[in-house]
């Protein structure tokens, strides 16, 4: 009986993994090289963390076209595909005998909603792009029409070369700030509790209770479970800060004035 072949996990394996999935923008970085506040570092997510593998999945240009229901369905499918890539990568790393975990969870910390790690900031540290005024990563290759995914793992691996910045990123045109219907954006900051994609996750009758609770930062036993549940049921209520950005459009003729 032939046993299963354990894959050799190295940079070549990672390159092949993403090539097979049509992903051309990724980075392998040392977990210790990423700038993050205490409590939101890769080692806080995985005690044995040595490496973080980040990738950008390009969105279709029509992802946010259609009715709200159609948009939400397309966004959910996109996020599902992105999460499947994370899960597949984590599984491959585990099959090689290493600890690995996708960066998935939503947490409540200091009165705001955050991911376990800030993927846009980690991706910027890894050289994949820069943070725009819409607080999203603007990649040098695909603009801001991307979804970010990542896996933290215990394997020590050679880092991918830090790319030289090429192409334009945020020029501070403030189109995203002006486009936000709830005035949640200001230069350098985002008020998540004004954002429709946060309040849109909460059933209307619960808003008067839930928003003050989330803002308070009070930790109760089911806080993280509740926020994860809200994140999973979220309807994509607004994408104006994304679609108003000139870097959402690959064709300059689509950018508008």
pLDDT digits (tens, 9 = 90+) for 2-41: 555 666 788 899 999 999 999 999 999 999 888 776 767 8
Domain region containing 96: 11-153
pLDDT level of residue 1 (50, 70, 90 thresholds): very low
- The reported pLDDT for the residue numbered 208 is 59
Q: Indicate the helix (H) or strand (E) that contains 57.
A: strand 51-58
pLDDT per position as a tens digit, 141-160: 888 999 999 999 999 999 99
Assigned domain for 5 exists: no
Average pLDDT, the chain: 79
Q: Answer yes or no: is pLDDT of 70 > 80.
A: yes
Rounded to two decimals, what is the model's pTM?
A: 0.79
- How do 106-109 and 112-115 pair as beta strands? antiparallel
Do residue 36 and residue 116 come from a single domain? yes
pLDDT in tens, 103-129: 875 554 554 455 667 888 889 989 899
3-state secondary structure of 53: strand
**Do the domain assignments include residue 242?**
yes
Same domain? 149 vs 180: no
- Name 147's bridge partners: 57
Please give the Cα distance from 26 to 148 (Å, whole number): 10
Is 92 contained in some domain? yes
93 and 213 assigned to the same domain: no
pLDDT at residue number 76:
82
Residue 228 shares a structural domain with residue 109: no
Distance CA 242, CA 179 (A): 9
Same domain, 132 and 183: no
What pLDDT does 50 receive?
93
Q: Is residue 164 part of a domain?
A: no
Q: Averaged over 94-99, what is the pLDDT?
A: 92
Counted domains in the chain: 2
């Amino acid at each position: 009986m032939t046993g299963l072949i354990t894959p050799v996990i190295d940079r070549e394996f990672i390159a092949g993994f993403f090539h097979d999935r049509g992903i051309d923008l990724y980075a392998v970085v040392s977990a210790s090289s990423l700038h993050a506040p205490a409590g939101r570092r890769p080692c806080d997510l995985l005690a044995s963390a040595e490496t973080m593998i980040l990738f950008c999945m390009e969105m279709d240009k029509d992802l946010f076209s259609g009715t709200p229901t159609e948009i939400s369905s397309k966004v959910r499918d996109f996020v599902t595909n992105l999460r499947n890539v994370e899960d597949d990568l984590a599984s491959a790393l585990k099959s090689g005998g290493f600890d690995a975990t996708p960066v998935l969870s939503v947490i409540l910390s200091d009165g705001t909603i955050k991911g376990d790690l800030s993927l846009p900031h980690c991706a910027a540290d890894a050289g994949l792009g820069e943070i725009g005024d819409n607080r999203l990563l603007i990649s040098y290759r695909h603009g801001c029409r991307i979804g970010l995914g990542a896996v933290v793992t215990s394997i020590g691996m050679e880092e991918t070369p830090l790319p030289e910045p090429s192409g334009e990123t945020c020029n501070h045109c403030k189109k995203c700030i002006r486009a936000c219907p709830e005035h949640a954006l200001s230069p350098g900051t985002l008020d998540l509790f004004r954002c429709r994609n946060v309040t849109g996750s909460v059933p209307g009758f619960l808003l008067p209770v839930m928003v003050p609770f989330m803002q308070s930062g009070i930790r109760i036993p089911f806080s993280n479970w509740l926020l994860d549940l809200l994140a999973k049921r979220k309807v994509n209520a607004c994408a104006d800060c994304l679609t108003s950005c000139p870097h959402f459009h690959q064709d300059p003729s689509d950018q508008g004035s």
